[in-house]
């Protein structure tokens, strides 16, 4: 069990305080790596499309490799912060070969809110806390509603991916919302705000009766929320619950996000 002082949130806060970082943290990732004598390399590895990044140890030398095959600075920054998480949290590298030990982190490791691996989950938690610290991020949500305008604005402001930003918004927003990520019509991740937990049922695919399904099939970005039958999305519901949905995608890469608003 991890000691309280070494939790991802506490360690990320310690890094920011130690470095004296008070503005957007993504602008200082190189400085953090330099402080720890970690060499950083960015390379577009088209032959390893599923690889997001690696943290490598060889003797006293340390290095981070970021796969830039997907041209998205927000993803690159999250990968960078994720690998720093493995380093600062002192995780034991799972891969050892020829005097070199390393982490090889996949796209799925970065995207899962709760990964199959404890150390990947902790590295994600560290990255979130490092890139979008509560004292900077939370005040920007005052009086806001959760929609793609808010998500896009904050993602651009903090130089993070829309997915990571959407998940972080749900950490703080009080109203019941659910964010669903999908590859094609297959659901890859679901995150709920605290007041929406218990509503969502376990579903593997975007319901064919939904507005989201039609938006994905016809590669459309919806500009507003549409009323949807609660029964296709929610496990526990009654006739008084209203569900509104809005979907937008990066259809070039066959990925999309759907926001569900519950009233």
Task: Identify the structural domains of the chain with CATH numbers, from first to last.
Answer: 4-133 (1.10.10), 176-263 (3.30.450)
92 three-state secondary structure = coil
Region of residue 233 (left: phi > 0; alpha: psi -120 to 50; beta: else): alpha
Tens place of pLDDT for every residue, the chain, 263 residues? 344 567 999 999 999 999 999 999 999 999 999 999 999 999 998 888 788 899 999 999 999 999 998 889 999 999 999 999 999 999 999 889 888 998 988 877 777 655 568 999 999 999 999 999 999 999 999 988 999 999 999 999 999 999 999 999 999 999 999 999 999 999 988 999 999 987 766 789 999 999 999 999 999 999 999 999 888 998 666 668 899 999 999 998 899 999 999 98
Q: pTM here? A: 0.90
CB count within 10 Å of CB 128 equals: 25
pLDDT in the model for residue 234: 84
At 3 the pLDDT is 45
Would you state the pLDDT for residue 239?
66
Q: Minimal CA–CA distance to 78: which of 98, 53, 45?
A: 53
Q: What is the pLDDT of residue 235?
A: 67
**CA distance to 145, 146, 200, 219, 223, per residue, from 233 (Å):** 21, 18, 7, 21, 20
pLDDT at position 70 is 84
At 201 the pLDDT is 67
Whether residue 225 contacts residue 42, with contact meaning beta carbons closer than 8 Å, is answered with no
């Amino acid at each position: 069990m991890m000691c309280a002082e070494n939790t991802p949130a506490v360690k990320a806060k310690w890094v920011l305080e130690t470095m004296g970082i008070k503005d957007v943290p993504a602008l200082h990732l190189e400085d953090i790596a330099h402080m720890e004598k970690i060499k950083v390399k960015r390379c577009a590895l088209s032959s390893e499309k599923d690889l997001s990044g690696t943290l490598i140890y060889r003797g006293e030398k340390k290095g981070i490799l970021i796969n830039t095959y997907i041209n998205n600075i927000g993803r690159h920054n999250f990968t960078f912060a994720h690998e720093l998480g493995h380093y600062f949290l002192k995780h034991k590298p799972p891969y050892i070969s020829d005097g070199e030990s390393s982490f090889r982190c996949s796209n799925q490791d970065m995207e899962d809110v709760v990964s199959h691996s404890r150390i990947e989950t902790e590295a994600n938690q560290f990255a979130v806390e490092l890139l979008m610290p509560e004292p900077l991020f939370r005040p920007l949500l005052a009086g806001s509603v959760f929609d793609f305008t808010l998500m896009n604005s904050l993602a651009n402001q903090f130089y993070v991916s829309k997915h990571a930003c959407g998940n972080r918004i749900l950490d703080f927003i009080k109203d019941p919302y659910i964010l669903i990520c999908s590859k094609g019509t297959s659901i890859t991740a679901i995150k709920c705000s605290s007041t929406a937990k218990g509503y969502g049922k376990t579903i593997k695919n975007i319901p064919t009766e939904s507005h989201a399904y039609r938006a994905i099939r016809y590669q459309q970005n919806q500009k507003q929320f549409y009323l949807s039958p609660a029964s296709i999305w929610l496990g526990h519901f009654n006739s008084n619950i209203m569900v509104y949905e809005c979907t937008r995608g990066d259809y070039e890469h066959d990925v999309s996000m759907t926001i569900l608003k519950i009233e």
